[in-house]
Amino acid sequence: MDMLSAFKDRKKRLEVLVEQRSSQRRPLRGRALGRIEEVCDPRSVKPLFADILPADPLGFPGYPDKLAALSQRTGTPDAFRCALGTVGKREVVCVELDPAFLMGSMGTAVGEAVCRCAELAHERRAPLIAFSASGGARMQEGMFSLMQMAKTSAAVRRLSEAGVLYISVLTHPTTGGVTASFASLGDVMIAEPGALIGFAGPRVIEQTIGRPLPEGFQRAEFQLANGFVDCVVERSALRATIQHLLELHPERPERPERPEQPGSSAAAATPVDTAPADADAPATHFDAAAPDPAAEATVTKDSVAAPSKTVTYGTPRSPHEHVAIARDARRPHMLAFVEALFDGFVELHGDRLFRDDRALVGGLARFEGMPVTVAGHLKGSDLNSNIARNFGMPHPEGYRKFLRLAHQAEKFSRPLVTFIDTPGAYPGAEAEERGQGEAIARCLFELSALRTPIVAIVTGEGGSGGALALGLADHVVMLEYAVYSVISPEGFASILWKDSTRASEASEVMRLTAHDLHGFGMVDAVVSEAEGGMHNDPGTTIEELRSVLRAALSDLTLLSCDELLERRYDKYRRFR
């Protein structure tokens, strides 16, 4: 049985178990009404999407039983409730996360619920209201959980382009991958008083900076003062506030015209233009055949999801050995890849808002004559250079610099190539003050609709949302010994098992290797490495990577912008 078939079989068995436990639920006595009922008009609430059930994609030990027990205790199959209702007789679509169910963490079921609500709001042109309370991504579902950040951000982007209002209400607590995705992307951002709101948790930040945080740090009032929420509203005043906001956003029956994007060549059916910038430049050369119009018209989610390459591996190694090789200081860094693969690289600096972040580097170059934008995390090769590069962990200004370059790539119809190698986004106090979660969420929001091809290459560590911020792409490549995960193995073991020394065991269950993720369809191609890592023979890996990148850009640049975006949306929408 292949990996995807095994996943589907586990999901089916889990659904049966949850349904059996659900049938044994006792009425919950004295349970307070949720915010959906408090905000919506009396007797207007109609529950939605009762068919969404949790999955166990990794076969995580004990997870199905824990889900079933929580379902029986809370009365819901997972950490969400969805409903259609009215506020002041105005139809709205609502989703509410329940912190009583695994801290409201976002796994495949929660991600699917948020997406369906956004899609229904789009279809009915009804405002979307999300009430978030979450500890972040759900570790028991590994990379499937991380993919929900991309998926939900893309759904919110489509809602935004349709001109439909989205109100995000942040309640206590809203942290991690939920903060760094849909929860930070509202047209209007409301927070309840005293709510903890941030990307990294307070304990992680205190461990990073080596001192206690000031009182009120990351609370709703802190986020208001730092400009990341619009208002702080008592729960008792939420209904009146939301109703007034709805009145200020009257219904718009017609979908607004999307303004023509710079460099999009006006016609949606026009292929992305990647011609050399001047006549003296080397001609772009691809050996791809002309696209078959009939084949293009029948693109499906299944066909997009199919891995593009059959992978063969050298000597088998344990997942934890892959982690060690991915972190090896001798491993080539981002600029080494740029020097080997591209010509004429010109680095561009700064986010135009605060400063230049040296942990994230980007600029302009040519790939075999084709103008491209390249960007990536940059670690150092020794202690001093790692300190200078902040160990490859960007601050918010790094992600905002990346977005500036991404929009420039779109404007000038240049493909975007990203290199991912980071332990994660920097979890420091100043990063939270400058909006780390919002910066990552904004990257996902913008990349999901960027009108130019995107290829992401995981060269070393792909650490959590800080990696995914550069990883929402049309084609994802991993080097053989690279890893990509929802959290580090040490963090996983510390949080779930209260024992960070079990990191090796965590690496096994997290399914974080290139082989695992290629099998899940999250990675499109895997590039082989020399035994023990590409630092032992970089030339062979570079040439194979060049071939993979050439083929990916050849295929992607033949697509129209609309088809490119549709395929990109489907690529992430299917992780459920």
Residue 410 pLDDT exceeds 80: yes
What confidence tier does 421 reach under pLDDT thresholds 50, 70, 90? very high
Distance of CA 528 to the CA centre of its chain: 26
User: HEC states along 394-458?
Assistant: CCHHHHHHHHHHHHHHHHCCCCEEEEEEECCCCCCHHHHHCCHHHHHHHHHHHHCCCCCCEEEEE
At 27 the pLDDT is 33
At 291 the pLDDT is 32
The mean-pLDDT minimum among 143-152, 477-486, 490-499 falls in 490-499
At 203 the pLDDT is 85
Q: Are residues 60 and 173 in the same domain?
A: yes
What Å distances lie between residue 209 and 123, 213, 433, CA to CA?
46, 9, 14
Q: Are residues 242 and 329 in the same domain?
A: no
At 307 the pLDDT is 39
What confidence tier does 5 reach under pLDDT thresholds 50, 70, 90? low
What Å distances lie between residue 211 and 176, 206, 486, CA to CA?
21, 6, 26
Half-sphere exposure of 54 (CA within 13 A, CB side): 33
Distance of CA 359 to the CA centre of its chain: 19
Chain-wide mean pLDDT for the chain? 85
- Picking from 199, 221, 247, the residue at the C-terminal end of a domain is 247
Taking alpha carbons only, the member of 185, 290, 258 closest to residue 558 is 290
Specify if 278 maps to a domain.
Answer: no
Average pLDDT over residues 356-379: 95
At 294 the pLDDT is 31
Average pLDDT over residues 172-201: 94
Specify if 280 maps to a domain.
Answer: no
Average pLDDT over residues 362-385: 94
Q: Are residues 359 and 486 in the same domain?
A: yes
Q: Are residues 158 and 33 in the same domain?
A: yes
Specify if 299 maps to a domain.
Answer: no
Residue 31 pLDDT exceeds 60: no
DSSP 247-274: HTS----SPPPPPPPTTS-S-TTSBPP-
- A 10 A CB-CB count for 26 gives 8
What Å distances lie between residue 332 and 325, 357, 381, 485, CA to CA?
11, 20, 9, 20
Q: Are residues 441 and 545 in the same domain?
A: yes
The mean-pLDDT minimum among 39-48, 252-261, 336-345 falls in 252-261
Residue 452 pLDDT exceeds 50: yes
**Cis link prior to 173 (omega < 30° from 0)?**
yes
Residue 160: give its domain's CATH number.
3.90.226.10
At 37 the pLDDT is 95
Reported pTM: 0.83
CB 393 within 8 A of CB 200: no
Greatest Cα-to-Cα distance within the chain, rounded to the nearest angstrom = 77
Residues ≥6 apart with Cβ < 8 Å to 367: 341, 342, 343, 415, 417, 549, 550, 553
Classify residue 357 by its DSSP letter.
-
- Picking from 210, 225, 247, the residue at the C-terminal end of a domain is 247
Q: Are residues 235 and 358 in the same domain?
A: no
The mean-pLDDT minimum among 82-96, 411-425, 465-479, 527-541 falls in 527-541
Q: Are residues 414 and 501 in the same domain?
A: yes
What Å distances lie between residue 576 and 115, 186, 572, CA to CA?
10, 23, 9
- What percent of the chain lies above the pLDDT cut of 70? 83
Q: Distance (Å, rounded) from C-alpha 245 to C-alpha 239?
A: 10
Residue 310 pLDDT exceeds 90: no
At 565 the pLDDT is 97
- A 10 A CB-CB count for 262 gives 12
* Phi-psi category of residue 18: left, alpha or beta, with phi > 0 → left and psi -120 to 50 → alpha: alpha
Q: Distance (Å, rounded) from C-alpha 486 to C-alpha 401?
A: 23
What Å distances lie between residue 284 and 114, 143, 278, 341, 401, CA to CA?
42, 36, 11, 14, 28
What confidence tier does 1 reach under pLDDT thresholds 50, 70, 90? low
Q: Are residues 241 and 363 in the same domain?
A: no
Specify if 257 maps to a domain.
Answer: no
Domain total of the chain = 2
Average pLDDT over residues 220-244: 94
- Picking from 203, 219, 247, the residue at the C-terminal end of a domain is 247
- A 10 A CB-CB count for 498 gives 8
Residue 471 pLDDT exceeds 70: yes
Residue 278 pLDDT exceeds 70: no
At 32 the pLDDT is 39
* Location of structure tokens 């991309």: 150
Q: Are residues 319 and 235 in the same domain?
A: no
* Phi-psi category of residue 132: left, alpha or beta, with phi > 0 → left and psi -120 to 50 → alpha: beta
- What percent of the chain lies above the pLDDT cut of 90? 73
Q: Are residues 70 and 193 in the same domain?
A: yes
Higher pLDDT among residues 7 and 295, named by residue: 7
Distance of CA 576 to the CA centre of its chain: 14
Q: Distance (Å, rounded) from C-alpha 126 to C-alpha 16?
A: 33
Specify if 494 maps to a domain.
Answer: yes
- A 10 A CB-CB count for 254 gives 7
Question: Would you state the structure tokens that stand for residue 230, as one six-digit string?
Answer: 């619009």
Specify if 273 maps to a domain.
Answer: no
Question: Would you state the structure tokens that stand for residue 122, as one six-digit string?
Answer: 């789009």
* Location of structure tokens 């026009």: 270
At 283 the pLDDT is 33
Average pLDDT over residues 281-302: 31
CB 152 within 8 A of CB 189: no
Taking alpha carbons only, the member of 67, 96, 110, 50 closest to residue 192 is 96
Q: What are the DSSP E strand ranges found in 390-451?
A: 416-422
Distance of CA 309 to the CA centre of its chain: 24
Q: Are residues 241 and 312 in the same domain?
A: no
Specify if 196 maps to a domain.
Answer: yes
What confidence tier does 266 reach under pLDDT thresholds 50, 70, 90? very low
CB 359 within 8 A of CB 395: yes
Host domain of residue 405 = 307-573
Higher pLDDT among residues 53 and 291, named by residue: 53
Q: Are residues 363 and 227 in the same domain?
A: no
The mean-pLDDT minimum among 89-98, 147-156, 366-375, 494-503 falls in 494-503
Average pLDDT over residues 542-568: 96
What confidence tier does 206 reach under pLDDT thresholds 50, 70, 90? confident
- A 10 A CB-CB count for 320 gives 17
